[in-house]
């Protein structure tokens, strides 16, 4: 086998750094036994170098891990490899070719993608147009890689995101923390509010099977129609009984990751506040609560939208709360009273001071 021929112990090298790599098949561990080497590159015809290094643990935990290496590289055949690999002129050409191979499995994604600004740039020959692998590193892609706030895939290219939004968007930092980029940049897509369960400031993750999130949610949902406010509280209580003091973080995202690929030019992005901060705003009509599994995949459960008006969730929604935004009437009233009080109290104080200055002294003079 190739790994043995090169003096590599493929199983030990692939799994040594992280036991998650042990989930790879024996054949894949042979591949990773060579490709896990740092600095492994191939010289291209135009003089560029193409990195061939693959993180075995990341690949094992990715959505492509179960497919194995042969799923995307059927042309590779041992023991002829690497002599059976055709010449590659440049890295860009290779990335484009690999993107076309994605179409075989991801046809549903390519349909909306073909009309996106990304696809239009590629067809126009722009070097800035992203190929699939630019947003979804193929050996490490996870289902949550594009809707995770300011650390998502978008900022790899759009590094000036914060500065651009601060020019016109109030509380831009909060929006970027609480709203997925695609929630505004795919204006025709369906959205939802995801109430993410946090433990110790991080998303609640079932790493060892001891916190079966969906099982807890189903047990709390006595009517089997999604969680109402009381059932939602019951879920949080049952999770805390497992030894996990929990909190919530509200997040607006798309209901389908497929629609995240249907990105029109940025001029079409949502900039109207009423689209979200209104009683009938679409994001607030669909609500889920979520944890993540051991591989980082979100586990979501449906929640009644009225939960957003419950005191249970008010703290979680501060990231995107505005008057009228979450439809919490009590908070609307309190915030309005706070604004009015903040204006009237100083005004009354100033008026009383002026009146006291004009009041006459016993001798007839004024103060």
What are the extents of the domains in the chain?
A: 2-135, 149-327, 332-367
Nearest Cα residue to 195 out of 323, 318, 322: 318
Overall average pLDDT of the 328-338 stretch = 62
pLDDT > 50? residue 319: yes
Of 149, 138, 243, 239, which Cα lies nearest the Cα of 197?
239
More confident residue, 48 or 324: 48
277: its two tokens = 């901060």
Minimum mean pLDDT range among 45-54, 157-166, 327-336:
327-336
Residues 144 and 280: their CA atoms lie apart, in Å, by 27
Taking each helix axis from N to C end, the angle separating 213-220 and 229-241, rounded to the nearest 10 degrees, works out to: 140
Instruction: Name the average pLDDT for the chain.
Output: 81
Query: Does the pLDDT at position 301 exceed 90?
Result: yes
Token pair of 93 as six digits? 């050409």
Q: Which two tokens stand for residue 366?
A: 């004024």
Write out the two tokens for 36.
Answer: 């896990």
Q: What is the pTM of this model?
A: 0.75
Question: Which pLDDT score is estimated for 178?
Answer: 86
Answer whether residue 266 shows pLDDT above 50: yes
Share of the chain above pLDDT 70, in %: 80
């Amino acid at each position: 086998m190739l790994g043995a021929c090169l003096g590599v112990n493929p199983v030990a090298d692939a799994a040594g750094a992280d036991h998650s790599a042990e989930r790879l098949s024996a054949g894949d561990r042979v591949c990773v036994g060579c490709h896990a080497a740092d600095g492994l590159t191939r010289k291209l015809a135009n003089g560029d170098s193409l990195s061939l290094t693959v993180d075995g643990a990341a690949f094992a935990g990715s959505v492509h891990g179960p497919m194995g290496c042969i799923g995307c590289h059927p042309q590779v055949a041992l023991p002829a490899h690497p002599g059976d690999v055709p010449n590659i002129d440049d890295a860009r050409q290779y990335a484009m070719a690999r993107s076309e191979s994605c179409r075989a499995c991801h046809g549903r994604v390519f349909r909306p993608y073909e009309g996106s600004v990304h696809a239009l740039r590629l067809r126009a020959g722009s070097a800035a147009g992203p190929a699939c692998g630019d947003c979804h590193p193929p050996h490490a892609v996870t289902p949550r890689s594009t809707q995770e706030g300011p650390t998502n895939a978008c900022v790899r290219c759009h590094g000036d995101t914060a500065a651009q939004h601060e020019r016109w968007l109030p509380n831009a930092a909060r929006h970027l923390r609480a709203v997925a980029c695609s929630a505004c940049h795919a204006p025709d897509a369906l959205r939802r509010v995801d109430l993410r369960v946090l433990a110790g400031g991080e998303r609640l993750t079932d790493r060892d099977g001891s916190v079966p999130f969906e099982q807890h949610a189903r047990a709390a949902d006595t009517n089997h129609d999604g969680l109402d406010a009381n059932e939602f509280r019951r879920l949080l209580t049952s999770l805390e009984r497992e030894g996990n003091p929990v909190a919530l973080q509200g997040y607006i995202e798309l209901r389908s990751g497929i629609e995240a690929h249907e990105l029109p030019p940025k001029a079409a992005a949502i900039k109207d506040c009423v689209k979200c901060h209104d009683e009938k705003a679409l994001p607030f009509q669909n609500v889920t609560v979520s944890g993540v599994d051991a591989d980082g995949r979100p586990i979501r459960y449906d929640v009644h939208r009225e939960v957003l008006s419950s005191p249970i969730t008010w703290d979680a929604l501060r990231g995107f709360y505005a008057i009228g935004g979450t439809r919490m009437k009590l908070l609307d009233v309190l915030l309005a009273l706070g604004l009015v009080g903040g204006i009237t109290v100083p005004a009354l104080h100033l008026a009383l001071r002026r009146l006291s200055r004009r009041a006459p002294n016993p001798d007839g003079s004024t103060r």
